[in-house]
Chains A and B, each alone.
Chain A
Amino acid sequence: MLQGWVIAVTSFAYLGLLFAIAYYADKRADAGRSVIASPYIYSLSLAVYATAWTFYGSVGRAASDGVGFLPIYIGPTLMIALWWVVMRKILRISKENRITSLADFIAARYGKSALIGGAVTVIAVIGILPYISLQLKAVSNGFLILTQYPEIVMPAKFGAVPLMQDTALWVALILALFTIAFGTRHLDAAEHHEGMVAAIAFESLVKLLAFLAVGVYVTFVVYDGFGDVFERAAASPALAPILTPLEGVAGSYSSWVWLTILSMLAIMFLPRQFQVAVIENKDERHLSKAIWLFPLYMLAINAFVLPIAIGGRLQFPLGIVDADTYVLTIPMAGREELLALLVFIGGLSAATGMVIVETIALSTMVCNDLVMPVLLRMKSLRLTERPDLTGLLLGIRRGAIVLLLLLGYLYFRLAGEAYALVSIGLISFAAVAQFAPAALGGIFWKGGTRRGALAGLVAGFLVWSYALLLPALARSGWLPIGLLERGPWDIELLKPLALFGLQGLDQITHAMIWSMVANVGAYVAVSLAGSPSAEETRQASLFVDVFRRSGDAGGARFWRGKASAPDLRNLLVRFVGAEAADGAFAAYARARGLAWPREPLPADAGLVHHVETQLAGTIGAASARIMVAAVVKEEALSLEEVRTILGEASQVVMYSLQLEQKSRELEAATAGLRAANERLKDLDRLKDDFLSTVTHELRTPLTSIRAFTEILNQEPDIGVAQRQRFLGIVTKETERLTRLINQVLDLAKIESGRADWHESRVDMREVVADAASAMGQVFQERGIRVELKLPERVRAVSADLDRMTQVMQNLLSNAVKFCSPGDGHVEIELCEQAGWLRVDVRDNGPGVAPRDREVIFDKFHQVGDTLTEKPQGTGLGLPISRHIVEHHGGRIWVQAGAPGAHGSAGACFSFTLPLLRDAALEEAA
């Protein structure tokens, strides 16, 4: 059943499905409802790390080295733990600077250097080619092996095939077309490929499921569980060593360590990982799920590697079947056609996922950082004057994709057969590890310079070429093998596999040690030897201090010059189209509260920076810089000026925390002061009111006194009777004045707490009786009936006798004032209430309106305003009474009296005083 056409149709159907998923995701993204804005999709897309190498190659390596394949997956687990610190920073930097690729990132850091961008691109392309060829090899081998079913024949046996019959070439071309359809259908200003990410996430699921399926089949169907597999391995003399491999088979511990380090760097700096982790990231917060989901994915996909490897070794004699193909050949040997087909699709997933993302990432780099800067510099092309460059950009990218895959195929033809899958992949890992010093140094160390980065990259890359690429070509017969065995010109020290006599290490460890020494050494040494330019200093600050500043003001601070808004818009239109350009302008205007295009935008530093950032999102930082520089007249800032700006900024940052703290304290203090001020103002107003009222109250009797004295003085001829009457008035008003002054002083004394209190045991019955009899004459004059309701005896209270008498007199004279004239009635009642003594004074006057019941105890508040006659009195009696009662721990209030009994309900003034405790005991005794 597994004829060539069945496999081909299945494969195309699968690719069609992927395309449908991508198409759907793109449509959803256009509608603003992204399907990939999920931490789970993000984590799955990171699993593009697991390529055909993982899918086929891990088993191959495990079959000879045991655990030796694991550092490649443990390394990323360790690295991703650091992502919260490192990747979050890279994400923030990339978002703020609209970074389009790894090369763009490193170039932007070192002063938007086109040279650095180009160098990174060249290294990435050369370094990744073996890796792409690996995928081609895996897919075409898988296809060839599967078509031989039920025979199991290794493709190497076929010998050289004519070019046009080579499956790998067709695989390369189909993948190129597919990638072009995926990644360059249109030019996205933000360089997001949502469809691609959705498809990659789906592929990650497929390859995991396929691998788990074959794992379960080998472990539980072919054999009897893990125990059985390992038992058989231990029993076989050939296999026993791979169970404790570290000293022997897998090489030394140093090899393990270096592989871990290598893969730690690879997970960050493989162009495809940078693409999915940084460029396609939708939200920083997705990191917190990815940090454990992605390692979990790798744990799962590796769990069955060893059983499959052991199974293959047990099943096939050594040297007949390539261990890299066990995943496929074991199901074939077991006549499991469907499983074999599923495995092939899984492998296809792993390979296509890698190829698609890698070539899209590389083509962006080639276009933005290699081709465009060169084209833009070629004045004869007049590119800067072309109205629409989007077509050109797309063309370059599509060409780059085809070229990359053809180069990958070329490498496959030249060198591919000499190496196992894993070894090819590790060569690429070692190449991208060369980006680590410049990139990681760039985000944590401001001292790194453009020259330093370039020196490091070039030195590292040269060592890599010499120690890894050269031997690969030599072994494939393209260079004399003597170069490896004796060294160039027979110089032993320069042997590519034992540089400077360093021996006993595996090839990768050896190359990593020397390339890192050269790379880091050159980066640090050259950086420290020179000093950065103004542009580098400013970019260093933007990258290293990304968390310490906010918003887009960062870049704009450093620009000075002349520009015109229409020119800037035209520039943007040429690269991203009119619609996107207008969108970008409108967004900028909105953020500044301008109604563009009705109101013109000021062509200031902010706008220039905004346009440059937008442009960088399409053509990369270095090219954007060239384009913007062509339409604006920029005045270069000197290094000194940039340093000054940075110095100010860092001081501001340093002080801002303290300032925040201080301003919080100040706010609190201000609030306190404001409250105190309000209180003072209130008190002041009260004092003013009081003074004003007191003067008014004093002036009234004074007016009468002065008027009558003058009259008496000026009119000698008034009659005796009238004279007597007038003198009487003067005397009365004088008494009133004296009373008023006494009460004001009294109140002031009580309020300020300076009053003398002479507390003693007081029997309130006596106080009430005395006060009533003292007022007896007044009652009689007004014809007021007084009724005392006193119990036989009450318990004593502790009080100032004179003050209590004063309270009673105040209340009684108050009652007299308001009693209805003629049939006035006042009732005084005394009673005990749960530890309190209560005194009620009721009158049959007009009563007190509910709204006045509280305010009448305020100073000078007289209810007289609404009465026909102004009541007599100072308006201080009740306030003084309240102070006295409250001083004794009691309460005073007024309510409506009991209606009915004496006509009008009247008012009932009551106050309470606490009974003495020992008095209560005395009572009980």
Chain B
Amino acid sequence: MGRRILIAEDEPNIVTSLEFLMRKCEYEVCVARDGEEALEQIEAFRPHLVLLDVMLPRKSVFEVCRRVREDPRCEAIRIVMLSARGRDKEIAKGLALGADAYVTKPFSTRDLVAKVRELLPESV
């Protein structure tokens, strides 16, 4: 059965590229344009992994992470943070919020795909 991935990102062109990459890997993809929508989609779409932009409008990434981590049903969800800010401090902050990986923009598509694959092994 296919793995589901939620792309939470507000920059349309980045969404396009991510969507393309994830589909290529035969993941089921859903897109959220802001924090609120991301939370709704997590509830409805039940993704296995979320590609989460740090600077989402309408709900802070902190709020999204907290909600995900508090919900026992979402225990298994992996979170990969995407951010244009690459300082160590910000990476540490993201990981502390509960991210499984932190990817700095601009990213290498190959590395990103590798990371997603690593987090979503075929056999569960």
Whether A and B touch (Cβ < 8 Å) is answered with yes
Contacts of B106 in A (CB 8 A): 699, 702-703, 705-707
Across the two chains, which residue of chain B brings its CB closest to A695?
Answer: B84
Residue of A whose beta carbon sits closest to that of B104: A699
- Comparing B9-17, B61-69, B92-100, the segment that makes contact with chain A is B9-17
Q: Residue on A with the closest CB to B90?
A: A692
| Interface status of B24 (Cβ within 8 A of chain A) | yes
Query: In the docked arrangement, what's the CA distance between A866 and B35, Å?
Result: 11
Contact of B33 among A714, A715, A868 (CB under 8 A): A868
- Among listed B39-47, B72-80, B107-115, B116-124, interface-contacting one: B107-115
- Cβ-defined contact, A710 with B109, below 8 A: yes
Task: Indicate whether A596 reaches chain B with its CB closer than 8 angstroms.
Answer: no
The CA of A703 and the CA of B16, in the complex, are separated in Å by: 12
From A710, A733, A870, contact of B57 by CB (8 A): A870
Given contacts A711-B21, A870-B57, contact A696 B13 (CB under 8 A): no
B residues near A702, Cβ cutoff 8 Å: 105-106
- Which A residues lie within 8 Å of B17 (CB)? 703-704, 707-708, 711
724-761 of chain A: CB within 8 A of chain B: 729, 732-733
Determine if B58 and A866 form an interchain contact, defined as CB atoms under 8 angstroms apart.
yes
In the bound complex, residues from chain A placing their C-beta under 8 Å from that of B20 are 711
Per-residue CB proximity of B1-45 to A under 8 Å, as 1/0?
000000000110110111011001000000001100000000000
The CA-CA distance from A710 to B18 in the complex, in Å, is 12
> Is B110 a contact of A710 with CB atoms below 8 Å?
yes
A266 to B74, CA, bound (A): 104
Question: Quick check: is A792 within 8 A (CB to CB) of the other chain?
Answer: no
**What's the least CB distance linking B105 to chain A, in Å?**
4
**How far is the CB of A888 from the nearest CB of chain B, in Å?**
35
Docked CA distance A733–B14 (Å): 10
Q: For A865, what are the chain B residues with a Cβ–Cβ distance below 8 Å?
A: 57
What is the 8 Å Cβ interface bit string for chain A, positions 838-875, against chain B (1 contact, 0 not)?
Answer: 00000000000000000000000000111111100000
Q: Which residue of A lies closest to B54 (CB)?
A: A696
Output the least CB separation between B61 and chain A (Å): 12
Kindly list chain B residues whose C-beta atoms are within 8 Å of the C-beta of A708: 13, 17
A715 partner residues in chain B, CB cutoff 8 A: 24
A661 within 8 A of B: no
Closest to B13 in A: A704
The interface residues of chain B, by DSSP majority, are classed as loop
For A728, the closest partner residue in chain B by CB is: B13
Q: Smallest CB–CB gap between B34 and chain A, Å? A: 6
Among A703, A714, A869, A870, max chain B CB count under 10 A is at A703
Contact (Cβ within 8 A) B84 A700: yes
User: How many Å from the CB of A846 to the closest CB on chain B?
Assistant: 14
B57 in contact with A866 (CB, 8 Å): yes
Contact A704 B14 (CB under 8 A): yes
**How many A residues touch the partner, as a band?**
20 to 34
B109 touches A870 (CB 8 A): no
Do B11 and A870 have beta carbons less than 8 Å apart? yes
Q: Indicate if the CB atoms of A699 and B105 lie closer than 8 Å.
A: yes
Measured between C-beta atoms, what is the minimum distance from A818 to chain B in Å? 15
Cβ of A727 to closest chain B Cβ, rounded Å: 12
Give the interface SS of chain A, mostly helix, strand, loop or mixed. helix
Q: Which residue of B lies closest to A702 (CB)?
A: B106
| Residues of chain B within 8 A of A710, CB atoms compared | 108-110
CB distance from A864 to the nearest CB of B (A): 6
- Inside 8 A of A732's CB, which chain B residues have their CB? 13
Contact status A868-B84, CB under 8 Å = no
Q: CA–CA, A715 to B58, complex, Å? A: 35
Contact call A703/B107, Cβ cutoff below 8 A? yes
Pair B57/A711 contact, Cβ less than 8 Å: no
Nearest Cβ in chain A — how far from B10, in angstroms?
5
Cβ–Cβ < 8 Å partners of B34 in chain A:
868
Given A707-B17, A868-B33, A868-B57, does the pair A692, B110 have CB atoms closer than 8 Å?
no
CA distance in complex: A699, B55 (Å): 13
Query: Closest B-chain residue to A699, C-beta based?
Result: B84
Closest-CB distance, B39 to chain A (whole angstroms)? 15
Contact A714 B109 (CB under 8 A): yes
Is there an interface contact between A704 and B11, defined as CB atoms closer than 8 Å?
yes
| Closest B residue by C-beta to A730 | B13
Min C-beta distance of A688 to chain B, whole Å: 11
B57 CB contacts on chain A under 8 angstroms: 864-870
Give A708 to B107 CA distance when docked, in angstroms. Answer: 11
Q: How far is the CA of A708 from the CA of B19 in the complex (A)?
A: 11
- In the complex, what residue of chain B is closest to A698 when comparing beta carbons? B84
A706-B33 contact, Cβ under 8 Å, with A700-B11, A733-B13: no
Q: CA A692 – CA B89 in complex, angstroms? A: 13
CA distance A869 to B34 in the complex (A): 8
Which of B16, B33, B105, B108 is the one whose CB lies under 8 Å from A700?
B105
Give Cα A870–Cα B55 distance, bound, in whole angstroms: 10
Q: Which residue of B lies closest to A706 (CB)?
A: B106
Q: Enumerate chain B residues within 8 angstroms of A729, measured Cβ to Cβ.
A: 13, 16
Q: Which residue of A696, A733, A866, A870 is within 8 Å of B84 (Cβ)?
A: A696
Bound complex: CA A729 to CA B19 (Å): 14
A893 CB to nearest chain B CB (Å): 26
- In the complex, what's the smallest C-beta–C-beta distance from B38 to chain A, in angstroms? 13
Instruction: State whether A869 and B13 are in contact (beta carbons under 8 Å apart), knowing that A695-B84, A696-B85, A699-B105 are contacts in the complex.
Output: no
Using CB atoms, name the residue of chain A closest to B60. A865
Which of B14, B21, B55 has the most chain A CB within a 10 Å cutoff?
B14
Q: Is the CB of A869 within 8 A of B85?
A: no
Cβ–Cβ < 8 Å partners of A866 in chain B:
57-58
Query: In the complex, what's the smallest C-beta–C-beta distance from B25 to chain A, in angstroms?
Result: 12
Q: In chain A, what residue has the closest Cβ to B109?
A: A710
Bound complex: CA A872 to CA B11 (Å): 10
Complex interface residues of chain A between 356 and 398 (CB less than 8 A to chain B): none
CB pair A706–B10 under 8 Å, yes or no, is no
List 29 interface pairs A-B (beta carbons < 8 Å), by A numbering: A692-B85, A695-B84, A696-B55, A700-B11, A700-B84, A700-B105, A701-B13, A703-B11, A703-B84, A703-B107, A704-B13, A704-B14, A705-B106, A706-B107, A707-B18, A707-B109, A708-B13, A710-B109, A714-B109, A715-B24, A729-B16, A732-B13, A733-B13, A864-B57, A867-B57, A868-B58, A869-B33, A869-B57, A870-B10
A residues at B contact (CB < 8 Å): 692, 695-696, 699-708, 710-711, 714-715, 729, 732-733, 864-870
A696-B55, A702-B106, A869-B33 known; 15 new pairs, CB 8 Å cut-off, are A699-B105, A700-B105, A703-B11, A704-B11, A707-B18, A707-B21, A707-B106, A710-B108, A714-B109, A715-B24, A868-B34, A868-B57, A869-B10, A869-B57, A870-B11
The 9 closest A-B pairs by CB, nearest first: A707-B17, A699-B84, A704-B13, A703-B106, A703-B105, A706-B106, A696-B84, A710-B109, A702-B106
